[in-house]
């Protein structure tokens, strides 16, 4: 089925949230004031159900990528059988994780199931990392990154820059990435969940990030590829870094992402908080196509407007 909207957008990437829980409690997902320890091992949809839903969506949309995310996807109890089953469907599989349980996970994989892994790394300083995530043991993330690289899996780092909290980490994280020859992207904070009404005090813009990087490096902007989330720059030494600038330079115009949450609801846009449940009629092709069309209709034209759903719920 060719599913397009008026801007000629299609769905090519399916982001699947495996759980709505996490073993970190980062400031941008969870309100520090209401923070409760919430690391649990829960699987809401079974492997069988997830594989069925993903296969049906893929048959309709001919996806390029399936990205497993959450919450924290490595908390999904059956993640290994799930990855191995999804690998049979066809599209590339990518994973977004906080990296805490990554070492253990990659040791159980052959190394060819995952096309790449995005690891969220907001600080290399233990105290700053704790302030953001309410967790210690940052070393586990580094071990996870190195274990994935040792398995030959492509790794990218994502760092959300939070004003007044981790600007000081931009240069150390760049150096860490350059040393390992891995890609790194800095993210502007987004108006999601408890930050929907007020993310301004924490906002550190693309321009602010570039100014910090410019203290140490000279760089030039690269050409943006279609449907990319990040703008990229290349330093004079030939290293690359990216910025995901949802606010400064929204990339809604060619967004090709569809989200599936851990209860079997789809969302066509991060700025939409109206869930469309697809589990009940998953075998009915006509209803599935109508549901996908409804998700497509949720897409904003050109501007990210945010949502009161946290990424924990809708999938990061
Ligand atoms: N637990 C996994 C992880 O940490 O990568 C996957 C899910 S988590 C929601 C994915 C990422 O979404 C976070 O690391 C962060 O980069 C991003 N994120 C979540 N809420 C955000 C916000 N309000 N602004 C910017 N980025 C956010």
pLDDT at 209: 98
Inside any domain, residue 4: no
Which region holds residue 90: left if phi is over 0, alpha if psi is between -120 and 50, else beta? left
Inside any domain, residue 245: yes
Is the CB of 95 inside a 6 Å radius of any atom of ligand 1? no
CATH of the domain at 268: 3.20.20.70
CA-CA distance, 119 to 117, in Å (whole number)?
Answer: 6
pLDDT tens across 86-129, in order? 999 999 999 999 999 999 999 999 889 999 999 999 999 999 99
Inside any domain, residue 47: yes
How many domains does one find in the chain? 1
- Closest atom of ligand 1 to 190 CA is 24
pLDDT at 37: 54
Closest by CA to 15, choosing from 92, 80, 76, 89, is: 92
pLDDT at 139: 97
pLDDT tens across 137-156, in order? 999 999 999 999 999 999 99
Is the CB of 29 inside a 6 Å radius of any atom of ligand 1? yes
Using CB atoms within 10 Å of the CB of residue 195, give its burial: 0 to 12 exposed, 13 to 18 middle, 19+ buried: buried
User: What value does the mean pLDDT of the chain take?
Assistant: 93
Higher pLDDT, 226 or 192: 192
| pTM of the model as a whole | 0.96
Task: Report how far ligand 1's centroid is from the alpha carbon of 309 (Å).
Answer: 12
Query: 35 pLDDT exceeds 80?
Result: no
Q: Among 27, 30, 160, name the best residue to mutate to test ligand 1's pocket (greatest count of ligand atoms within 8 A of Cβ).
A: 160
Token pair belonging to 241: 């870094």
- Among protein residues, the one with the nearest Cα to ligand 1's atom 9 is 316
Strand order in the sheet with 231-235: 219-221, 231-235, 240-244, 183-188, 154-161, 116-120, 92-97, 65-69, 13-17, 257-260, 265-267, 276-277
pLDDT at 62: 95
Inside any domain, residue 6: no
Is the CB of 190 inside a 6 Å radius of any atom of ligand 1? yes
Query: 70 pLDDT exceeds 50?
Result: yes
pLDDT at 33: 66
Inside any domain, residue 244: yes
Is the CB of 10 inside a 6 Å radius of any atom of ligand 1? no
Q: Can you give the residue range of the structural domain that contains 201?
A: 13-314
Query: 203 pLDDT exceeds 80?
Result: yes
pLDDT bin (cut points 50, 70, 90) of residue 253 is confident
pLDDT at 41: 47
Inside any domain, residue 1: no
Cβ–Cβ < 8 Å for 157, 185: yes
Number of CB atoms found within 10 A of residue 112's CB = 10
Query: 43 pLDDT exceeds 80?
Result: no
pLDDT bin (cut points 50, 70, 90) of residue 40 is low
Average the pLDDT over each of 10-14, 33-37, 187-191, 244-248 and give the range with the smallest value. 33-37
Is the CB of 144 inside a 6 Å radius of any atom of ligand 1? no
With tokens 């290399």, the residue in question is 124
Inside any domain, residue 7: no
Inside any domain, residue 265: yes
Q: Among 29, 166, 304, name the best residue to mutate to test ligand 1's pocket (greatest count of ligand atoms within 8 A of Cβ).
A: 29
Q: Stretch 56-65: mean pLDDT, rounded?
A: 96
């Amino acid at each position: 089925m060719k599913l397009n909207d008026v801007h000629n957008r299609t769905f090519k990437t399916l982001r699947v949230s495996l759980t709505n829980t996490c073993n970190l409690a980062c400031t941008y997902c969870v309100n520090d004031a209401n923070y409760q320890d919430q690391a649990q091992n829960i699987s809401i949809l079974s492997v069988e159900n997830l594989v069925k839903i993903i296969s049906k969506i893929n048959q309709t949309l001919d996806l390029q990528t399936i990205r497993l995310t959450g919450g924290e996807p490595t908390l999904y109890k059956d993640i290994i059988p799930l990855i191995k089953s999804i690998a049979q469907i066809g599209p590339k599989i990518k994973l977004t994780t906080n990296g805490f349980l990554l070492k253990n996970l990659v040791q159980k994989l052959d190394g060819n199931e995952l096309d790449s892994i995005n690891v969220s790394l907001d600080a290399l300083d233990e105290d700053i990392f704790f302030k953001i995530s309410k967790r210690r043991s940052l070393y586990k993330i580094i071990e996870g990154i190195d274990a994935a690289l040792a398995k030959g899996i492509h790794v990218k780092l994502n760092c959300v820059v939070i004003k007044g909290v981790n600007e000081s980490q931009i240069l150390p994280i760049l150096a860490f990435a350059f040393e390992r020859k891995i890609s790194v992207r800095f993210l502007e904070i987004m108006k999601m969940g408890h930050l929907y009404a007020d993310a301004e005090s924490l906002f550190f813009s693309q321009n602010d990030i570039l100014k910090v990087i410019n203290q140490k490096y000279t760089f030039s902007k690269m050409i943006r590829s279609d449907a990319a989330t990040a703008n990229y720059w290349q330093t004079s030494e030939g290293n690359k870094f990216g910025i995901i600038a949802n606010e400064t330079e929204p990339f809604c115009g060619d967004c090709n992402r569809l989200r599936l949450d851990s209860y079997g609801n789809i969302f066509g846009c991060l700025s939409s908080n109206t869930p469309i449940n697809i589990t009940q009629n998953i075998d009915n092709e006509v209803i599935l196509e109508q549901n996908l069309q409804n998700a497509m209709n949720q897409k904003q034209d050109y501007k990210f407007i945010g949502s009161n759903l946290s990424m924990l719920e809708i999938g990061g």
